[in-house]
Amino acid sequence: MPDRSSPEGSGHGPELLVRGGTVVDEQGERRSDVLIRGAEITAVGPDLQPSGPDTVVLEAGGCVVAPGLVDLHTHLREPGGEIAETVQTGTRAAALGGYTAVVAMPNTEPAIDNPSIVRDVLALGRSALAEVAVAAAITVGRAGKTLSPMGEIAALGVHLFTDDGRGVQDAALMRRALEYASDLGIVLAQHCEDAALSAGGHMHEGAWSSRLGLPGQPAVAEEAMVARDLALVRETGTPMHFLHLSTAGSVELIRKAKADGLPVTAEVTPHHLVLTDASVADYDTAFKVNPPLRTDVDVQALRQGLVDGTIDAVATDHAPHATVDKEEPFDSAPFGMTGLETSLALLHTVCNGLPFGECPPSKWPGGTWPLVELLAALSWRPARIARLDRAAGGRQGGPIEVGAPANLMVFDPAATWIVDARTMASRSRNTPFAGMQLTGRVRHTVHEGEAVVVDQHAQR
């Protein structure tokens, strides 16, 4: 059976009292304090008192107290990419962004494609600042040739499998993978990109790539694989999760598939909800990401898909890269941008139509979006997709109630701040949001009863 016990070292910290905030979770909104002892919530209610002089009080006046966020899509880079990120630095970034759990992607070096590497990464996660779950590769070495030992890996508690960074190109192999996975209770997640159609592309193929003289990745490179995989899900019945959707056509395909009752879920990144290919105009490699930033039409469709439930979750695709690697010509720089430390604040800013940077307010479908909806997309819905929720025996996604694991965060919706790449906790600096003013900031984060972030500062 999967090891679902709380991490080592937890449960020994001081009692915590989260005081003066408004609890927001799946059960609604109420003015409540939260008392935490060990790794557990021991009391929820108005005007709670500390039980002794050693109780640490986390002030939450004017703030929202919510279940910790859960990121379905984090590149922690360890093992093999420690120049860009480690489990420790990546989860510190996560904690500062309000996350209490991340799913580490398997495109490490070596790839997470066998039980021993899964165990290694889970072991690194036990002393991290957030829960580290693992997504393992579908194919050995993510090479798209032979199946990884999915059964053995699933027995370690791994629920998501993906070759993320690339899609499984061979349709016959993908069909076999879905068939083989059908009795393991796992979910295959696809990075949808037909490599033949996207070959050589460094940004979205369209008006801007044509103007800038950069080879593009057409939207159809993503949509062709989404369509193929939906046909395979229809045939095999095995559930699938669609990673980082980026085009209006993909949203429409998933919308129809869900209407037909197919067992599929989907995620979108914060950057695809906010930025367009116009950002590439000055060849700043901070905006080079895969899937590429698309058009305004795609941004609007992704927002609509998130609002109407076609898209289940927001996932960061936090993809750190060393500065030395990003300061290269656009066509030789690696794809990827960081996101853990900015996601909630960014989306809170955008879906309330608040100004950021020098941009005019962006229009969100329906004008604004309630914070509870945003939290659902960032916390309890992704927790369920990753089976980190309590119903699945996990410890994430709330609700905030007596006896629940103490994984929560405190968000100040009124705090304004300017993103400074130099002071971020991630080992890398490749945020596209540097210099932007955001409204809303994570103030405290509690991971398994430990206050890992207090007043916007990581505690270790």
Partner 1 sequence: MTTTLETPGASTTLPSAGQPGGTPAAGAAAGAAAARSAGASGVRHLVSITDLDRDGMLGIFHLADAFKEVAERPIPRVPALRGKTVATLFFEASTRTRLSFEAAAKRLSADVMSFSASSSSLEKGESLRDTVETIDAMGVDAMIVRHKSSGVPSQVRAWTKASVVNGGDGQHEHPTQALLDCYTIREALLDRTPAGETPPEDLRGMRIAIVGDVRHSRVARSDVLAMTALGAEVVLVGPRTLLPPSLDGWPVKATPDFDGVLDSLDVVYLLRIQRERAQAALLPSMEEYHERFGLTRERAARLDERVLVMHPGPMNRGVEIAPEAADLPSSLITRQVKNGVLIRMAVLFHLLGAGGPLPAGAFGGTESGGGADA
Whole-angstrom Cα Rg for the chain: 21
Contact criterion met (CB below 8 Å) for 166 and 140: no
Q: For partner 1, which residue of 27, 207, 401, 460 counts as binding (CB under 8 A)? A: 207
The reply on whether position 218 binds partner 1 by CB under 8 A is: yes
CA distances from 413 to 35, 153, 181, 188, 452 (A): 22, 40, 42, 35, 20
Q: Which is nearer to partner 1, 167 or 216 (CB)?
A: 216
Tokens of 371: 């914070």
Q: Which is nearer to partner 1, 357 or 365 (CB)?
A: 357
308 is catalytic: no
What lies within 8 Å, CB to CB, of 17 at 6+ separation is 33, 34, 35, 36, 48, 49, 50, 55, 56, 57, 58
What distance in Å separates the CA atoms of residue 345 and residue 436, rounded to the nearest whole number? 11
What distance in Å separates the CA atoms of residue 163 and residue 137, rounded to the nearest whole number? 5
Q: Which is nearer to partner 1, 62 or 215 (CB)?
A: 215
Amino acid at 244: H
CA distances from 176 to 54, 157, 168, 187, 234 (A): 57, 22, 11, 14, 14
Q: For partner 1, which residue of 59, 182, 197, 330 counts as binding (CB under 8 A)? A: 330
The reply on whether position 347 binds partner 1 by CB under 8 A is: no
Sign of CA dihedral 196, 200, 204, 209: negative
Contact criterion met (CB below 8 Å) for 217 and 204: yes
**CB of residue 327 to partner 1, shortest distance in Å:** 4
The reply on whether position 43 binds partner 1 by CB under 8 A is: no
Q: Which is nearer to partner 1, 89 or 279 (CB)?
A: 279
The reply on whether position 242 binds partner 1 by CB under 8 A is: no
Q: Which is nearer to partner 1, 179 or 331 (CB)?
A: 331
Binding mask 419-458 for partner 1 (x = CB under 8 A): --x----------x-xxx----------------------
Residues 248-287 that bind partner 1 (CB under 8 A): 275-276, 278-279, 281-287
Which position among 317, 412, 420, 455 bears the catalytic label?
A: 317
3-class secondary structure for 289-346? Answer: CCCCCCCHHHHHHHHHHHHCCCCCEECCCECCCCHHHHCCCCCCCCCCECCCCCHHHH
Q: For partner 1, which residue of 131, 205, 412, 448 counts as binding (CB under 8 A)? A: 205
The reply on whether position 47 binds partner 1 by CB under 8 A is: no
The reply on whether position 210 binds partner 1 by CB under 8 A is: yes
The reply on whether position 332 binds partner 1 by CB under 8 A is: yes
Contact criterion met (CB below 8 Å) for 397 and 376: no
**CB of residue 269 to partner 1, shortest distance in Å:** 17
What distance in Å separates the CA atoms of residue 167 and residue 126, rounded to the nearest whole number? 30
Q: For partner 1, which residue of 81, 125, 165, 216 counts as binding (CB under 8 A)? A: 216
Q: For partner 1, which residue of 214, 240, 314, 404 counts as binding (CB under 8 A)? A: 214
The reply on whether position 295 binds partner 1 by CB under 8 A is: yes
How many residues sit close enough to partner 1 to count as binding (CB under 8 A)? 42
The reply on whether position 42 binds partner 1 by CB under 8 A is: no
**CB of residue 436 to partner 1, shortest distance in Å:** 6
What distance in Å separates the CA atoms of residue 194 and residue 34, rounded to the nearest whole number? 48
Pairing of strands 131-136, 160-161: parallel
Q: Which is nearer to partner 1, 348 or 429 (CB)?
A: 429
Residue 289 exposed, middle or buried by CB count within 10 Å (0-12, 13-18, 19+): buried
Q: Which is nearer to partner 1, 98 or 218 (CB)?
A: 218
The reply on whether position 209 binds partner 1 by CB under 8 A is: yes
**CB of residue 200 to partner 1, shortest distance in Å:** 9
Q: Can you give the binding site for partner 1, defined by CB under 8 A?
A: 205-216, 218, 275-276, 278-279, 281-287, 295-296, 324, 327-332, 357-360, 421, 432, 434-436
What is the set of active-site residues?
317
